[in-house]
Structure 1
Amino acid sequence: MRAWEETQASLEDDFAAPLTGSSCWHDDPRAVSQAEALSYYAGLPSEPVLVYRTGEPWSPPRGPEAQRRKKELRPVFAHPIVDLWRASLGMAVADIMDAQTVYFTTIDVVRFRMLDVDQADSDDEDADEPPAPADGPVTIWVGVLPESTSPSTAHTAAQAVLALLARHAIADVDVAFRESLYTRLAGAPRRPTSAPDPLAASALTPAAGASIAARRGAHGTLALSLDAGDVAHTLLGLTSRHALFSDKDGNFDYVGSAPARPRDVVLLGPRAYTELVDAIRVKIGRHAIAARHRRAQIAELLAEEHAGDARAARHRVKTEALLAAAEDAMAALAARLHALQRRKDPAARVLGRVLRAPRVALGAGEERFVEDWAVFCVERGKLGDGFRGNVLDIGTTLCADGLPAPSLPAGALPTDLSTSHLPLRGILTDAELQRPQHVVTHGAARGASLGTATGAFSLVREYFACDVRVHRTAFAWAVLGAGSDSAFSPGSGLGLRVGEGASAGGEFARPGDSGAAVVDLQGRVGGVLVGGAGRGGAVDVAYATPFWWVLERVRAGGFPNASINVG
C-alpha cells in the first residue's frame, strides 16, 4: 500500500508545479499548433495544455487588439449521455483509453462557453455585432498525465469513443484531451482569496467548513457534525481521511478503539491559526487608523461648531457615531484575539480523537465511488458558546444587506436564511445529484465558494507508483466554479450576490478544502470534497463523494444511528 501513497505524494508535488507546454509531440501529424495548445483553455483556473481534440478547426484570435479567447466550464444536463454515463458509457470510455494506452487521470462530461469573441476590423463598418456567448457542444474531456499521450494516440482513442457514442445514437459530442492531474485536496492551503473573517463563527468553534488538522503540513476541512444516535448523543465530526493521515502513515483501516496510535484532531492547524491572528491584527490596525481620523475630525468640527457653524454640529454627531462603531469593532476584535491567544498551544484546540477512518479506496462499493472519510469524537465541553449545530458559514454569498435577494425564484432559498449561516438539513438523493444544482461550500483554504454541479459523474484515477499499468478508478460528483452568467453572478437576473470572502467563477475548491461539505441552496448536503483536477496549484474541476453514500458507509462502519440532526 505504501506505493499508492508515494504516488499520491508525488502527484501533489507535480500538481503544485507550474504547467508548461509539452513540446515532445511537435512532429506528430495529429499535433495541434503550439499556439492552440497553450491558449485553447485560456480562462480556466489552470489553463491546461491541449493535447488533441475533435470538433471545429481552431483559428487564431483576430482583430486590432486580439487577445486569447477565454473559456469557462459549463455543466451538462438534459442530454442522452447523462442517463447512460454511469450505467455503461463511462466505464466503456475508460476501457477505450486503457486499450489505447492513454494514461488518463480524469474523464469529465462538460461544455465550454467562449467568454471572448473576436473584434471586428476597425475599417469594417458593416460588421455585425459579435454574437452573445453560447455553450459549446458536450465534450468528453480527458485529463492525461503530462507528456504521456501522443496526439496520434489521442486521435485513435477519440475515434473509438465517437464510434461508441454512435452505437448509442449520440452524434453531437466532442472528445478533447488535456494535460492534467488528479490529486487529493488536503495539504497546506494557499493563502485564501480574501482574509479570513476574524469574527466568523467557524473560527473558534467546530462549525461546518472549519479548518482542522491532525498532522504537520496539512490542513483539511470539517464537513459537518453527526449525532452518533447513542444514549449519550455523542457528537462526531466528519471529514476526509487523507486530511488527517499522511502518506507516511500508510493506507490502513484505522479504528480508534485501539490505543496504540491515538490521533487528535485540532481546530485550526498552525497556518490557519497564524493567518487568523494576523487577520485580526490587521483589522484592529485599520479600525485604529479610522478612529484616529474620526477623533481629528471631531476636534475640527467642535472648533467650527463653537464658531457658530450649525452644520458642523450635525456632522460632529454623525462622526461621533462612526467613532463609536470603530471603537466597538476594535473591542470585539481584541476580545477575539485574546481568546485565540489563550489557545495558541495546539493542545488547547484539540476537538477530540479519530474513531474510525477506513483506508482510502477508489472504486468502492457497487457504485464505484471514492471512499475517503473519517469520523472523530468531538468533546462537547469544547464547543463554546458560538456552536450552532450544522450550519455553513457563507458570509454574504447568498444574501444582500442581510436579506435574501428579492428577485430569486420562489423557494430558491430557505425562508429563514440569515446573512451568514445556511442551515444544513436534508440530503440530496442520487437522482437529485444528476439534476441541475447550484451549490455552495466553505473550505478551509478557499473560504465560501459557489459552483454548479454537473449531471454526469466524472471518472477519477490514481496510479501505482511502481507500475502505471496498475491503477484504481472511481466515479465522483464533479463541481465547477460558478460561471460568468450563472445564478451567482451580479446581473444574472436571479439576484444572487457574491459577498466578501466568496467568488463566482474560477476555482470551486483549493488544496486544503478536502472534507468540506457541498450543499445546495436549500442546505441539503450533496457531497464531501475529496479531490480536484488541474495543475500549477489551480483546480479546474472539484470532485466530491455523494454524501448519501458516505453516510451509509459511516453507519455500516460502526455508527448505525448516525444522522445530521445535531442538537
Structure 2
Amino acid sequence: MDPTATAVTPYLVSEYERITYYHGISLDPPELLYRSDLLHNPFPLPKVAPQICSLLKGRRIRYSAVMAARFFTHGEDGEGSLGPIVIWISTHPGTTTAENAHDASPDIISLLEEAGVKGAVVEWYEGSVETLAGPPLLRVILGTDPPITEDDDAQGSVALFFHENKTEHSQPSARVLGTNTADYLFKGRGVNEIKALIGVYGSDAEHLATEIAALEQHLESNDPDEVEEAEAGVPAKQAKLAEIKQNIGVLEDFYNDVNAQWSDIERRNLGHVDWAPMISVDVEGKRYTLDLGTFELDEAKFKDNFKGNVIDLGCCSSTPPNRQLRIKGIVAPQLLANPDGVDSNGEPCLVVLKDGGKTDVTVGKYAGLEAYVADDLGQESIELAIYNYDKQSGDFSAKGDSGALIVDGLGNMVGIPHSGMPKGASNHVMFATPAWWAVEKIKEQYPYADFYRTGW
C-alpha cells in the first residue's frame, strides 16, 4: 500500500451532494451531513457531460458545444407536447459528417443509460461559438425620454459598478469602478443613430399631418358617420403628433448636447482601465471563462447621476418604481444547479432577463444544466447556457450584448455573458460566466468591494 495515500471514508458525502441534497425545501435549506442509504443509493453527480466530451474527442469529433435541452412542439389545435431530453451537440462547421454523428450516438446513449437517464435522444447540428459585444450605458433615466437605437458596431455594456472601500492593504478608498468583458474596455461608439431616429420621427410627423388634414375635410361632410369619425380621429391624431414633436425636440437637444460635449474623442472616456487580466479559462478549477476587466469611473462624469446597479426595464414593466430593477444579490451555485422556478411548460428553470446594448431588455431561461464549450482552437470551458424563452419573446441576445448583466426577476445576479452561437441575424443560446464566480474573482483583486450601494 502507498504510505502517502489518503484513505477515503465510505460514509463521506460529496461536496455537490452536501449543498444540493435538500434544495427546494426552503430558501436556505440545511446541508446534508450523512444518510444511511449512501452506499446503496448514490446521489447522481453531473459527470455525464465530461464523459460525452471525452468520447467525442476520442472519435476526433470537433464539438463546439454539448448542451442538454427539451423542445416543446406546438400543434395546430393549440395543444402541444414536450419532447424527450435531448443531448444537443454542436460541431464546428465542415468537420463532422452525418455518418460520424450516427456512429457516435449509440455510445452516448449508453453513457446516459448507465447514469440512469432513460429515453434521451442525441441531436447534432453545426455551429461556432462567437463573442458578443455592445455599447456603454448612458445615464439611468426615469423612462420619459424617447428610445434611442444603437450602432451595429458598438461594443460592450457595463456589467456592474462597485465601491472599492479599502485597498488590498486596508487603506481607505473612495474609488468607484465598473466592470465589463475585457474587449469592451478598449473600444468606443458613435451617435449617428440619434440623427437617424430624428429623421424617422420626422417622417411619422409628416404622415400624421397628412392624415389630420384629410380627416378635417370630413368635418364638413353631409354624412353624420363621417363627421363622427372625423371628430374622434382628429384630436387623437393631433395628440399623437404633439407627442412625436416633443420626442423630436428631446432628441435634437440630446444630439446637440452630444455634439457639443462629446465630439472630441478625448472627452468620451468614462474612466481609466484599472485591471484587465488576460481572457482565459480557469483550467485548474471550475473551467469557467474569465473575460472581465475593471475601470475606475471619472467622478465628474458619474457622480451626479450615479444610482448604483439597476436595470432599466423600459416599457417592459410598470414595476418596480420607475421601472428600475435594483441589483441586490447573487444566485448561489446551489440554485443554479437546481432552479426553483418553472417555464410556461412547467419545466424547472430560472427565468432571467438582461438589458443588452443591442437587444435591450429581453427574457430568457436557464434550465440548470451547464454547457461544455470548445472554441476553434480546442480550448474547453464550462458555461451557463441561457436559451431564448420562447418564439414570441424573440432572441435573448445578439452581437452587441456582451457584458450585459443577466439577473433573475428579483434582481439577483445570474451571469455575465460573453459569447453565443449566432446564425445570420438570430442567436439561439447565450453563454455566460456564473456571477457568483465572477464576483469571487473581482473580490480577489478588490477584497472590500461593495456592489450594492445606491449612491456615489
Query: Which TM-score band (shorter chain)?
Result: 0.7 to 0.9
* Correspondence for 2:130: 183
* TM-aligned CA deviation for residue 535 of structure 1: 3.1
Provide the C-alpha distance between the structure 1 equivalents of 2:213 and 2:447, rounded to a whole number of angstroms.
59
For each residue in 1:443-465, what CA deviation from the matched residue of structure 2 results, as whole angstroms up to 9, or x when unmatched? 1122221111121111111243x
1:340 aligns with 2:340: no
Q: Give 1:394 deviation, angstroms.
A: 2.3
Matched, 1:438 2:351: yes
| Aligned pairs (5 A) from 1:346-425 | 346-364=265-283, 366-383=285-302, 386-397=305-316, 399=317, 403-404=318-319, 416-418=320-322, 420-425=323-328
Measure the CA separation in 1 of the matches of 2:328 and 2:87.
34
Q: 2:353 touches 2:361 (CA, 8 Å); kept in 1? A: yes
Q: 1:558 to 1:314 in 2, by over 3 A?
A: closer
Corresponding residue number in structure 1 for 2:31: none
Please point out which of 234, 243, 246 is paired with 2:184.
Answer: 243
Cα 1:349–1:137 shift into 2, 3 Å? same
CA contact (8 A) 1:363 1:473 kept: no
C-alpha distance in structure 1 between counterparts of 2:241 and 2:296, whole Å: 44
Q: For residues 346 and 202 of structure 1, do their structure 2 counterparts lie closer, same or farther at Cα, with a shift above 3 Å needed?
A: farther
Asked if 1 retains the 8 angstrom alpha-carbon contact of 2:164 and 2:176, the reply is: yes
How far the C-alpha of 1:566 sits from its partner, in A, is 4.3
Q: Structure 1 residue 332: deviation in Å?
A: 2.2
SS, match of residue 383 in structure 1: helix
Out of 99, 111, 121, the residue aligned to residue 58 of structure 2 is: 99
What runs of 5+ residues in structure 1 fail to find an aligned partner?
A: 1-77, 118-129, 190-196, 245-262, 405-415, 465-470, 490-503
For the residues of structure 2 that align with 1:379 and 1:539, how far apart are their CA atoms?
35
| Aligned partner (choices 89, 100, 109) of residue 48 of structure 2 | 89
CA change 1:202–1:233 in 2 (3 A) is: farther
Mapped pair 1:528 → 2:416: yes
Superposed counterparts of 1:168-567, under 5 Å: 168-186=115-133, 201=141, 219-230=155-166, 231-244=172-185, 266=188, 269-270=189-190, 273-287=191-205, 290=208, 324-342=242-260, 343-364=262-283, 366-383=285-302, 386-397=305-316, 399=317, 403-404=318-319, 416-418=320-322, 420-434=323-337, 435=339, 436-464=349-377, 471-484=378-391, 504-505=393-394, 507-536=395-424, 538-567=426-455
Find the partner of 2:74 among 115, 118, 131.
Answer: 115
Give the drift of 1:133: 1.6
Q: Shift in Å at residue 549 of structure 1?
A: 0.6
**2:329 match: secondary structure:** coil
1:53 aligns with none
Structure 1 residues 177 and 317: CA distance shift in structure 2, 3 A: closer
Secondary structure of residue in 2 paired with 1:508: coil
Which amino acid in 2 is paired with 1:340? V
CA distance in 1, matches of 2:151, 2:94: 36
Amino acid of the structure 2 residue aligned with 1:548:
W
- Native 8 Å contact 1:199 1:333 kept in 2: no
Tell me how far apart the structure 1 counterparts of residues 205 and 139 of structure 2 sit (CA, whole Å).
14
- Offset of 1:288 from its aligned partner? 6.0
Shift of 1:240: 0.8
Residue 285 of structure 1, CA deviation: 4.8
Aligned-partner SS, 2:271: strand
TM value normalised by structure 1: 0.61
List per-residue Cα deviations over 1:397-450 (Å, max 9, x = no partner). Answer: 2x2xxx35xxxxxxxxxxx343x4222221111122231211111111222211
1:506-555 Cα distance to aligned partner (Å, 9 max, x none)? x2111121111111111111110111124335322111101111011011
* 2:363 aligned counterpart, secondary structure: strand
Letter of the 1:168 counterpart:
A
Contact 2:161/2:309 (8 A) holds in 1? yes
3-state SS, counterpart of residue 358 of structure 2: coil
The Cα of 1:116 is off from its aligned counterpart by 5.2
Residues 283/210 of structure 1: CA separation in 2 closer, same or farther (3 Å cut):
closer
Partner of 2:396: helix, strand, or coil? coil
Change over 3 Å in CA distance of 1:93–1:349 after alignment to 2: same
Give the Å deviation of 1:321: 5.4
Helix, strand or coil at the partner of 1:141: strand
**2:91 and 2:97 mapped to 1: Cα distance?**
10
CA distance in 2, matches of 1:103, 1:154: 11
Equivalent residue number for residue 32 of structure 2: none
CA shift, 1:91, in A, is 1.1
Distance 2:443 2:289 in 1: 17
Matched ranges for 1:26-41 at <5 A: none
Q: Post-superposition shift, 1:387?
A: 4.1
RMSD: 3.8
Deviation of 1:178 (Å): 0.8
Post-superposition offset of 1:385? 5.3
Letter matched to residue 422 of structure 1: L
Give how far 1:344 is off: 2.9
- Residues of 2 paired with 1:291 and 1:200: CA distance? 33
Indicate the SS of the match to 1:109: strand
**Structure 1 residues 337, 386: closer, same or farther in 2, change over 3 A?**
farther
* 1:222–1:202 distance in 2 versus 1, CA, 3 Å: farther
Instruction: Give the deviation of 1:101 after TM superposition.
Output: 0.9
**1:358 Cα deviation (Å)?**
1.2
Q: d(CA) in 1 for partners of 2:184 and 2:283?
A: 19
- TM-score relative to the length of structure 2: 0.74
8 Å contact kept, 1:295–1:323: no
Whole-angstrom distance in 1 between the partners of 2:139 and 2:215:
28
Higher deviation after alignment, 449-458 or 152-161: 152-161
| One-letter amino acid of the structure 2 residue matched with residue 221 of structure 1 | S
Contact 2:398 2:422 in 1 (8 A): no
CA distance in 2, matches of 1:288, 1:200: 31
Whole-Å separation in 2 of the counterparts to 1:300 and 1:198: 46
Q: Is contact 1:145–1:179 with CA below 8 Å preserved after alignment?
A: yes
